[in-house]
């Protein structure tokens, strides 16, 4: 099985824009192709991660539209959907394409153009991923996160401030990311005084609505060695699902699918949590960053909140988490997120992150579809010249 490498990435500015979905996808895709130095190369596959182009933009067949926009015919073109985990799923499919030996160059582009709809319509589109029998009772992703937060705080004695600190840290990181949606320093008091969304979580505990796109170019390690002096390989990748119905789960303060996906990725890479130097997790709400850091094995169960308060996950901490600003402050254009996470780790490993650069040779991403329904964990490693 050929080793699979990342050789380029590109992102649009995240935030609200007048650009259309296909334009955003094309911008990120072109940047990634340029970044890889592969202009003019015939790609085998163009994979587009996106949740709801039909509902948000009245568009289907967007992978073919992107191929047309980038003149990449006759590349295979497929849209990959796993709700908010679409980006991770597309990287997973792209990895397979190279690993099967069938494909040599794969362009993975994720994007979402969400600002076309009112917040009520957007909430309805996003709620379409919940179980119908639970949706009728009014369950939404924000309300599930609040239930998780309540259970975690009560069970492990975590203070409300620890959750707020996640938002503060991620806003601090986003200040150093020119493409992030928010460039605004906030304090714990700002979070605690922001409007209640679902008690105990408040507006500043949640990621925003975002337009944007992100892309990575995948190829064989053999090609990567010709293209760059410090190739980055996907040394581990795991995908796992959990019960679709939330009422079937034992607890809401842990994500078994994160654990299972991570186990697969660690096993494949021959790594353990302490080998990881930088992490991008799926902080749709502040509590989720803490839960994932525990389920990924970085901190013991119930201890993750302490690591946040002790600045262990800060940019200069022992394990920097969400150096990009995370979903919270970089923004969360649904289909883009899993791809943007891989792009951030790729850039960190290649030492291209400017002011937010950390010291790392091995990084990990955790992208979640639904509410812990389907999870993709990737482990990336840089192979520096000796």
Q: Which of 63, 168, 198, 379 binds a second copy (CB under 8 A)?
A: 63
- Taking the complex as a whole, the smallest distance from the CB of residue 59 to a second copy amounts, in Å, to 6
Q: What does DSSP assign to residue 244?
A: S
What is the DSSP code string of 322-373?
-TT-HHHHT---GGGHHHHHHHHHHHHHTT--GGG----SEEEEEEEETTTT
Residue 3 or 17: which CB sits closer to a second copy?
A: 3
Rounded distance between C-alpha atoms, residue 331 and residue 325, angstroms: 8
Q: Which of 314, 329, 369, 377 binds a second copy (CB under 8 A)?
A: 369
Q: Which of 23, 55, 161, 172 binds a second copy (CB under 8 A)?
A: 55
* The token pair that represents 265 in the structure block: 């990725």
Window 133-192: residues binding a second copy (CB under 8 A):
none
Judged by CB under 8 A, the stretch of 5-13, 80-88, 148-156, 286-294 that binds a second copy is 80-88
Residue 36 or 49: which CB sits closer to a second copy?
A: 49
- Taking the complex as a whole, the smallest distance from the CB of residue 361 to a second copy amounts, in Å, to 25
Residue 222 or 311: which CB sits closer to a second copy?
A: 222
Angstrom distances, CA of residue 137 to CA of 83, 134, 321, 337, 379: 21, 5, 35, 28, 38
Q: Looking only at Cα atoms, what is the longest distance across the chain?
A: 59
Q: Which of 11, 28, 91, 93 binds a second copy (CB under 8 A)?
A: 93
Do the Cβ atoms of 82 and 261 come closer than 8 Å? no
With vertex at residue 72, the alpha carbon angle to CA 67 and CA 73, rounded to the nearest 5 degrees, is 85
Residue closest to 83 by CA, chosen among 312, 372, 321: 372
Q: Which of 115, 151, 241, 357 binds a second copy (CB under 8 A)?
A: 241
- Taking the complex as a whole, the smallest distance from the CB of residue 21 to a second copy amounts, in Å, to 10
Residue 42 in contact with a second copy, rule: CB under 8 A: no
Query: Which three-class secondary structure state does DSSP give residue 9?
Result: strand
User: How many residues touch a second copy (CB under 8 A)?
Assistant: 59
Residue 15 or 333: which CB sits closer to a second copy?
A: 333
Residue 100 in contact with a second copy, rule: CB under 8 A: yes
Residue 92 in contact with a second copy, rule: CB under 8 A: yes
Rounded distance between C-alpha atoms, residue 8 and residue 34, angstroms: 8
Rounded distance between C-alpha atoms, residue 298 and residue 384, angstroms: 25
For a second copy, what does the binding mask look like between residues 117 and 136, x meaning CB under 8 A? --------x--xx-xx----
Q: Other C-beta atoms within 10 Å of 240: how many?
A: 21
**Residues in the site for a second copy, rule: CB under 8 A?**
1, 45, 51-52, 54-55, 58-61, 63-65, 67-69, 72-83, 89, 92-93, 95-97, 99-102, 125, 128-129, 131-132, 239-245, 248, 256-257, 260-261, 369-370, 373-374
């Amino acid at each position: 099985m050929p080793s699979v490498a990342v050789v380029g990435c590109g992102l649009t500015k995240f935030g609200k824009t007048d650009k259309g979905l296909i334009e955003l996808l094309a911008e990120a895709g072109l940047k990634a192709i340029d970044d890889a130095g592969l202009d003019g190369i015939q790609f085998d596959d163009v994979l587009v991660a996106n949740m709801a182009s039909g509902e948000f933009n009245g568009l289907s067949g967007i992978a073919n539209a992107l191929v047309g926009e980038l003149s990449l015919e006759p590349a295979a073109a497929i849209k990959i959907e796993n709700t908010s985990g679409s980006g991770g799923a597309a990287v997973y499919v792209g990895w397979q394409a190279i690993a099967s030996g069938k494909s040599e160059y794969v362009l993975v582009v994720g994007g979402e153009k969400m600002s076309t709809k009112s917040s009520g319509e957007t909430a309805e589109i996003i709620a379409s991923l919940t179980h119908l029998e639970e949706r009728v009772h009014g369950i939404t992703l924000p309300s599930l996160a609040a239930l998780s937060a309540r259970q975690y705080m009560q069970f492990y004695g975590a203070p409300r401030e620890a959750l707020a600190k996640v938002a503060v840290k991620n806003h601090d990181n986003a200040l150093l990311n020119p493409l992030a949606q928010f460039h605004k320093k906030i304090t714990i008091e700002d979070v605690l005084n922001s409007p209640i969304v679902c008690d105990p979580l408040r507006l500043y505990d949640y990621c925003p609505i975002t337009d944007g796109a992100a892309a990575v170019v995948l190829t064989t390690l053999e090609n990567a060695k010709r293209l760059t002096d410090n190739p980055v390989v996907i040394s581990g990748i795991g995908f796992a699902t959990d019960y679709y119905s939330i009422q079937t789960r034992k607890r809401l303060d842990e994500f078994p699918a994160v654990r299972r996906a991570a186990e697969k990725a660690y096993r494949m890479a021959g790594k353990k949590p302490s080998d990881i130097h930088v992490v991008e997790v799926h902080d749709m709400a502040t509590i989720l960053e803490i839960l994932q850091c525990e389920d990924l094995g970085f901190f013991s169960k119930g201890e993750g909140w302490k690591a946040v308060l002790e600045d262990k996950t800060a940019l200069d901490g022992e394990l920097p988490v969400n150096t990009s600003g995370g979903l919270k402050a970089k923004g969360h254009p649904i289909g883009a997120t899993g791809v943007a996470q891989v792009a951030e780790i790729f850039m960190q490993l290649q030492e291209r992150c400017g002011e937010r650069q950390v010291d790392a040779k091995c990084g990990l991403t955790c992208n979640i579809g639904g509410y812990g329904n389907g999870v993709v964990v990737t482990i990336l490693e840089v192979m520096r010249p000796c």
